[in-house]
Amino acid sequence: MQILTGKAVSPGIAIAEAVVLDAEELRIPRRMVTKDEIPDEITELDHAFATSIEEIATQRADVKLQLGHDVADVFNWHIGVLKDPMLRKDIVSLMEERNYSAAYAVSTVMRGLQRRFMQMKDPLLAERMRDVQDIERRLLRNVLGKSAEDISHLSQEAILVTHDLTTSQTARLSSTKIIGVALDVGGATSHTAILLRSWGKPAVLGLKNLSSHVSGGDTVIVDGLNHMVVADPDEATLEDYRSKRASFVKLIDALDELRDLPAVTTEGVRIELLGNIEYPAEAAASMEKGADGIGLYRTEFLFLGDEDPDEEEQFEAYCKTIAGANGNQVTVRTFDLGADKITQNKHFEPERNPMLGNRSIRYSLQHLEMFKVQLRAILRAARTGNVRVMFPLLTTLMELRQAKMTLFDAMEDLEETGVRFGRDLDIGMMMETPAAASQCREFVREVKFVSIGTNDLIQYLLATDRGNERVSRYYTASHPAVLRTIRDVIRTCAKAGVDCSLCGEMAGEPIYAMLLIGLGLRKLSMAPNNIPEIKKLIRACSLKKAERVAKRALTFETDAQVTNYLRAETKKLLPDDPI
Amino acid sequence: MSEPNESVVREVTICNKEGLHTRPVMKFVDLAQTFESDVSVRSLESTEIVNGKSAMELMLLCATFGTVLEVTATGVDAARAVEALTALVVDEFSLDLPNT
């Protein structure tokens, strides 16, 4: 049994066998084996070679009948490669010299060959890369037996253990039987974490080298309540976790019963709970969880596909989201592109410091055509519902004015071409940089609403990269500087009569609920899955109490004091909850 | 008995349009394997020398139309091997004949 601590980013408990993926999503159960196991591994390798050759010979015969010689020729070459003594020699020497498992050695050698084909100038030859990939997969499947299947075709529930996941890899997990995730790297609020939380798949990140310790098929427990992963648990631990999981599930079910009840404090003060979403389908899912609307629609997720979304595609996505919200308000945030892996890989030369680089509104304002396309799509969709638009990551008033001007330009464009659109949408901004927060008074004169984006605000206030596990302990919403900044923004907005909400991860964390309400917020936007629990808290709490808690929380000097205090107060309010 | 380890070298130019592709590679490998001699092939465009009996390595030579190859055989039947293999290349790998 091995217990590792990391950072829980999605609550809950998942128990299942592990599926271990390498960087290219092929499942490699074990990378290293002991010296004594090598002879057996080589026997299995040779067996896999023989089986693969037989398989291809059969396929070749079928293909020859159906498609003729040309295609069958390619299979001849596959067989030739598998019979190639040089290839076997390369693989076996990795096993003998470096104790690689047969699968890992196959994968290493074949990946090297794929890279060489990829670099070839002759396109016909470069295409052979696919064949090498094909041979690799076939060999691996035969080395690994059943365990090599693609994760989209898992026959039973499993825990995904791997080094890191890109956002697009994560996006594909929603329809698989992966019920929990354990990653070597990753801080708390990357997009990966956001997605996993919204699907209710427990996840712990930042587990250092877990993926090299765990083998496919090992039982793994992901404890997203206590920031832990248990690999290969003993029977007592397993039993303990089964009952913990059962009570958590019971709790969640009980929370779902709150769905149709309003979020009101004991005095009857109404708090709006809104959903943060990435995909149009999540709008309806948020309503299912009892959301009062969509407080943050992260439109940049439209860029996850292979091609950038055109106006029609965007228009359709926005309309679908608005329809899903079923008449409730939808706050659309314009693209927050630039600092994530997707765009750094796809669109730009990598920046040395992307978080301080050309991202978000800056990127949009430097790509005005793309920005205008988005604004047109939003404006057109705004006719179909109750829509607001907001700009992310503003640091200067000039940016806000330029963004608004671009929006008005887009309106004019639409007017000139006679396209109908929603003219009366409110224009707002994310308050997520220290610069904007300290100039809040000036900003609120020029917007209808403000949404405090704590994820970035904390990161910039505390000079901490939220995705870097080496400093993730510095990243906390409890820092007194964060609390004071939020308090000041709320006050300034209230004085100016500007609608203020908060849409960071902080809004969905139970321990901050009383604090935020006590500071004066009446609108909180969070991952849809967090809504029931926050609602339960609010319904158990009086505004008076919340105000007292907020006042007290602001007197502490360190984040640890704040966290401990808030946790204790929350626990007092809901003694039975595993907070 | 002639020299047991004599080496025979000959240059030959790829003259079929598709170059050293899957089918030509397999024809070459199949033929090379009928000889006892070791067979190595070098493309004059690179310094890499590959095993003439390896389907993978020959493909990695990236020998397209017009590439000059240096075929070397070492062993008891070296002369016959080089003769047959270069003839195969010149003959455009007898591609009109069906595969076995």
DSSP states along A149-210: S-GGG-SS-EEEEES---HHHHHGGGGSSEEEEEESS--SSSHHHHHHHHTT--EEE--TTH
Which of A4-8, A323-327, A535-539, B51-55 bottoms out in mean pLDDT, i.e. has the lowest? Answer: A4-8
The per-residue pLDDT for A488 is 98
Residues of A with CB under 8 A from a CB of B: 69, 72-74, 76-77, 80-81, 83-87, 113, 116-117, 120-122, 124-125, 128
- The half-sphere exposure of A539 on its side-chain side, counting CA atoms within 13 A, is 14
CB–CB of B98 and A120 under 8 A? no
Other C-beta atoms closer than 10 Å to the C-beta of B27 total: 23
Mean pLDDT within A142-154? 66
pLDDT surpassing 50 at residue A149: no
**What pLDDT score does A20 carry?**
82
Identify the H or E element spanning B9.
Answer: strand B7-13
Subunit contact B19:A72, Cβ cutoff 8 A = no
- Asked whether residue B10 is assigned to any structural domain, the reply reads no
Shortest alpha-carbon distance between residue A66 and chain B (Å): 16
Q: Residue B21: its chain A contacts at CB < 8 A?
A: 124-125
Band the pLDDT of A160: cuts 50, 70, 90: very high
> Is B79 designated active site?
no
- Give the pairing of strands A228-231 and A13-20: unpaired
Highest mean pLDDT among A17-26, A270-279, A547-556, B49-58: A547-556
Residues facing residue A183 across a β-bridge: A162
Task: Set out the domains of chain A in order of their start, with CATH numbers.
Answer: 2-27+150-253 (3.50.30.10), 35-148 (1.10.274.10), 257-573 (3.20.20.60)
Minimum mean pLDDT range among A9-23, A285-299, A432-446, A506-520: A9-23
- What pLDDT shows up at residue A339? 67
Q: Where residue B81 sits, what CATH number does that domain have?
A: 3.30.1340.10
> Residue B23's closest chain A neighbor by CA?
A73
Model pLDDT, residue A349: 63
Question: Residue A383: pLDDT above 80?
Answer: yes
Helices (H) then strands (E): counts for chain A: 24, 16
pLDDT of residue A386: 96
Out of B6, B16, B21, B54, the active site residue is B21
Q: If you count them, how many residues does chain B have?
A: 100
Residue B60 touches partner A, C-beta closer than 8 Å: yes
What is the predicted pLDDT for the residue at B39?
Answer: 95
The helices-and-strands tally (H runs, E runs) of chain B is: 3, 4
Give domain status of residue B62, yes or no.
Answer: yes
What's the rounded mean pLDDT across residues A217-234? 91
- The pLDDT assigned to A552 comes to 98
Residue of A nearest to B53 (CA): A84
| Amino acid letter, residue B82 | V
The residues, any chain, with a CB within 8 Å of residue A301's CB and separated by 6 or more, are: A167, A171, A191, A278, A279
- Whether B12 maps to a domain, the answer reads no
Say which of A72, A85, A124 has its CB closest to residue B21: A124
**A191 is known as an active-site residue:** yes
Q: Which of A76, A81, A124 sits opposite B18 (nearest CB)?
A: A124
Q: Which residue of B has its CA nearest to A126?
A: B62
Tens digit of pLDDT for each residue in A326-342? 999 999 999 998 766 55
How many domains, in total, are found in chain B?
1
3-class secondary-structure state, position A432: coil
Q: Tens place of pLDDT for every residue, chain B, 100 residues?
A: 445 678 999 999 999 888 888 889 999 999 999 999 999 999 887 778 999 999 999 998 888 888 999 999 999 999 999 999 999 999 888 866 554 4
Q: How confident is the model at residue A168 (pLDDT cuts 50, 70, 90)?
A: low
Closest C-alpha among A161, A202, A133 to residue A29: A161
In a domain, B24, yes or no: yes
The percent of residues in chain A predicted with pLDDT above 70, rounded, is: 91
Q: Let me know: does B30 contact B99? Beta carbons within 8 Å.
A: no
Q: Which of B28, B51, B59, B100 to mutate to test the interface with A (most CBs of A within 10 A)?
A: B59
Residue with tokens 């000959």: B10
Assigned domain for B9 exists: no
Q: Which among B19, B22, B56 is the nearest to A84, CB-wise?
A: B56
Question: Does B59 contact A at CB distance below 8 Å?
Answer: yes
Query: Which domain does B87 fall in, by range?
Result: 20-91
Provide the percentage of residues in chain A whose pLDDT is more than 90: 57
Q: Which of A72, A80, A122 sits opposite B64 (nearest CB)?
A: A122
User: Which pLDDT value is given to residue A376?
Assistant: 97
Residue A271 binned pLDDT confidence (cut-offs 50, 70, 90): very high
pLDDT band at A483 (very low <50, low <70, confident <90, very high): very high
B6 inside domain = no
At A190 the pLDDT is: 60
What burial class does residue A570 get, using C-beta atoms within 10 Å of its C-beta: 0-12 exposed, 13-18 middle, 19+ buried?
buried
Q: What is the pLDDT of residue A290?
A: 92
Q: Cβ contacts (< 8 Å) between A85 and chain B: which residues?
A: 53-54
Q: Backbone dihedral region of B16: left (phi > 0), alpha (psi from -120 to 50 degrees) or beta?
A: beta
Q: Please give the distance of CA A338 from its chain centroid, rounded to a whole number.
A: 16
**ipTM value > 0.90:** no
Q: Is 80 exceeded by the pLDDT of residue A26?
A: no
Can you name the residues that pair with A16 across neighbouring β-strands?
A: A220
In a domain, B61, yes or no: yes
Q: Answer for the pair A578, A566: CB distance below 8 angstroms, yes or no.
A: no
The predicted pLDDT at position A188 comes to 44
Q: What is the average pLDDT score of chain A?
A: 88
Minimum Cα–Cα distance from B96: chain A residue: A69
Pick the residue with more confidence: A6 or A209? A6
Residue A292 has pLDDT above 90, yes or no: yes
The confidence score (pLDDT) of residue A29 equals: 63
The structure tokens 């128990």 sit at A15
The reply to whether residue A86 touches residue B99, judged by beta carbons under 8 angstroms, is no
Best-predicted range by mean pLDDT (A188-197, A471-480, B57-66): A471-480
Report how far residue B69's alpha carbon sits from residue B14's, in angstroms, rounded to the nearest whole number.
7
In a domain, B96, yes or no: no
> Does the distance separating the beta carbons of B56 and A124 come in below 8 Å?
no
CB-CB under 8 Å, A72 with B56 = no
